[in-house]
Structure 1
């Protein structure tokens, strides 16, 4: 099992942070590995939405579709791969600490199958590094846009 939980404090209102992070169109701007996003269902984001992502991770091109399985605007977003090479669930949470500070968490968990089982510990380490970079990037973007 791969289960990576990262978090960061962003000095920006919770509403602003959650709206930006929950918008798949913004993902290539703050995720280091995501190269493109394509909506497979109509906007806006809601439970049941399907979004296709193209990414590069550990030198490999990946294409997968996430389906939104839970969404509470301003609080939580959970997406699960509907198809792709590695069954994965991604959870975002946002918690207002005060009028201008938000705790954002990013959790990725999944069960590697086949050959990738061997690399699960390495994948966890690499995902942790990538997630921390991504959270630092979104923090930089949102704190600059004040």
Structure 2
């Protein structure tokens, strides 16, 4: 099955705790992630390993719903990873937040197994997804830096 691994990084002129707090709040997802229509945390408590989120998003003209489970997370939220439990194709993602003086460096990876759904168009799907991740990070930067 075709697997695409994408990586995107950005520097945001905000303290690391502010960036983590904003990204941790799934209600903010539609504000900065272009494909996300709705995001909700299904588990109680603060984000931790095992926390489940339901995300409704638009991808390649289709509205899809996926449940994501946090598979790894540092206590302070500076690193976490998650994978889809449901949805049209398997995905895994991780985000790392690191202080760089008064700014925060954010790095995200996303692995998509497009499998039988987009087998022939796998490189095109990867290109579209990478461009979307770059736009998401530009949105995140603009939102957080405008709040300074």
TM-score norm. by structure 2 comes to 0.93
How far apart are 1:39 and its partner, in Å?
2.0
Gaps of 5+ in 2: none
Distance in 1, Cα, partners of 2:16 & 2:145: 12
Residue of structure 1 in register with 2:65 after alignment: 63
Distance in 1, Cα, partners of 2:59 & 2:117: 16
Distance in 2, Cα, partners of 1:14 & 1:34: 23
Distance in 2, Cα, partners of 1:13 & 1:42: 27
How far apart are 1:23 and its partner, in Å?
2.2
Gaps of 5+ in 1: none
Distance in 2, Cα, partners of 1:127 & 1:115: 15
Q: Secondary structure at the match of 1:83?
A: coil
Residue of structure 1 in register with 2:31 after alignment: 29
Distance in 1, Cα, partners of 2:105 & 2:17: 12
Residue of structure 1 in register with 2:132 after alignment: 130
Residue of structure 2 in register with 1:82 after alignment: 85
- 8 Å contact 1:14–1:74 — kept in the other structure? no
Runs of 4 or more above 3 Å deviation? none
Residue of structure 1 in register with 2:142 after alignment: 140
